[in-house]
Amino acid sequence: MYILDLRKLIEGDILLTAQTAVISKTIRVVSSSDFSHAILYVGDGSYIHSNGGGVHSGNTQRLLFHKLKHVQVLRPNNETFAEKACIYARTQVGKEYSVKDAINSKNPLPKKKESNRQFCSRLVAQSYEYAGLKLVDNSSYCTPQDIHNSSDISIVKNILSKASKEEISFSKSENPLQRQADITNKILKSIRKLTGCDIQSFDELSQFVINNPIYDHGITSIIERSGYLSMWQDEMEKNPWRYNGELFLSMPMRIEEKRQQASFELKSAHKQLNLYSYNYNMMQQNLIAQMKFSYIEMNLRLYNNLINQMNMRVAAATHVLNNI
């Protein structure tokens, strides 16, 4: 089994994958491609993709490959588009998967209007097109092979390493991101039922609430009952070392490994802190402009908790780096 080397991946890398499952083989045959899936790496060990469960994030340490040829990493020749592409991909989280559009990607109908849905290669291509880099002729209907054939990207070689027993074990362990995806899907499904509107992401939801305040309390209630607001607490309980410098220092790791882990944690925490702070400020502006919405106040509380969580993570990693 092989695993991606995180030290060699950078934000904005595109992963094209193929697996041994029948559906993967079928997609490759239908699309005349060596690959069946496209993934956008957004940095710090995380990726965003669109599969049967919709658009959601994942952990690259849970991606294992039976053969070297089952994954290829592509990198835009101009890396300045990467950050904005990843920002767009995050706005798509929660959108449902479109089997029909994915099938039509090989031979799209003339002037066919795309649905408010996603599939893997559309997500990657549209993310980069939003950032200003047109990878394919038609970002709404494209295949992994179309992305592979783009003249604006290059193949990154020697990106895989043999997976250790510990890495294989981790990849099969309980996945908190799957729970997050399930809760997100349940929330959006319930909100679509409540409103009768095709709300496909939290990005669309926020604008909907502002434009339709009659649904403010109903939507807020759905989210409050879902468990979505307490997921950050679950992570802290599962990995307390991330938020306590002394616990981090006591981890049974070699000094160099601990230094590398602390550096990774610090970089990742700062990135998340910037994202949560931006979202908090945007919600704060909406609160001032739109009076008091329960939905906005709920999000302000959530982002405040997430900001505090990331500050603890920064402090823990800094403590380790200062004391080893």
Q: Is the pLDDT of residue 270 over 80?
A: yes
Please choose, from the candidates 82, 86, 78, the residue with its C-alpha nearest in 3D space to the C-alpha of residue 152: 78
Measure CA 96 to chain center: 14
Q: Strand locations in 45-136, DSSP E?
A: 46-51, 54-59, 64-65, 71-76
Q: Do the strands 2-4 and 14-17 form a parallel or antiparallel pair, or are they unpaired?
A: unpaired
For residues 235 and 176, the answer to whether their CB atoms sit within 8 Å is yes
pLDDT of the residue at 110: 52
Average pLDDT over residues 77-103: 94
Q: Which domains are present in the chain?
A: 2-162 (3.90.1720.10), 174-322 (no CATH)
pLDDT over 90 (residue 139): yes
24 confidence band (pLDDT: 50, 70, 90): very low
Q: What are the angstrom distances between the C-alpha of 5 and each of 44, 74, 121, 148, 280?
A: 12, 14, 23, 20, 33
Residue 101: CB atoms within 10 A of its CB come to 18
Query: What's the pLDDT score for residue 269?
Result: 96
Structural tokens at position 233: 């607490």
**pLDDT given for residue 192 in this prediction:** 98
* H or E segment to which residue 318 belongs: helix 294-322
For residue 101, name the pLDDT band (cuts at 50, 70, 90).
Answer: confident
Secondary structure letter of residue 10 according to DSSP: -
**Average model confidence (pLDDT) across the chain:** 91
Is the pLDDT score of 22 beyond 50?
no
Pair of tokens at residue 245? 């410098």
| Cβ–Cβ under 8 Å, residues 126 and 139 | yes
pLDDT greater than 90 at residue 26:
no
Assess contact for 35 and 18: CB atoms under 8 A: yes
Place of tokens 């340490």: 61
Does the pLDDT at position 28 exceed 60?
Answer: no
- At 102, the pLDDT band (50, 70, 90 cuts) reads confident
pLDDT of residue 289: 67
Which residue do the tokens 């588009």 mark?
81
pLDDT band at 103 (very low <50, low <70, confident <90, very high): confident
CA distances in angstroms from 25 to 3, 21, 30, 35, 197, listed in the order given? 21, 7, 9, 9, 36
**What average pLDDT does the segment 158-179 reach?**
91
Q: Who contacts 137 (Cβ-Cβ below 8 Å, separation ≥6)?
A: 146
Residue 33 has pLDDT above 80, yes or no: no
260 pLDDT more than 50: yes
Of residues 58, 66, 64, the one with CA closest to residue 39: 58
**Chain-centre distance of CA 17, in angstroms?**
16
Lowest-confidence segment of 88-92, 113-117, 238-242, 316-320 by average pLDDT: 113-117
Per residue in 181-231, pLDDT tens?
999 999 999 999 999 999 999 999 999 998 999 999 999 999 999 999 999
Q: What is the pTM of this model?
A: 0.90
Which of 142, 113, 117 lies closest to 128 in space, CA to CA?
142
Provide, rounded to the nearest whole percent, the portion of the chain with pLDDT above 70.
92
Confidence (pLDDT) at 114: 77
Return the percentage of the chain with pLDDT > 90, whole number.
Answer: 81
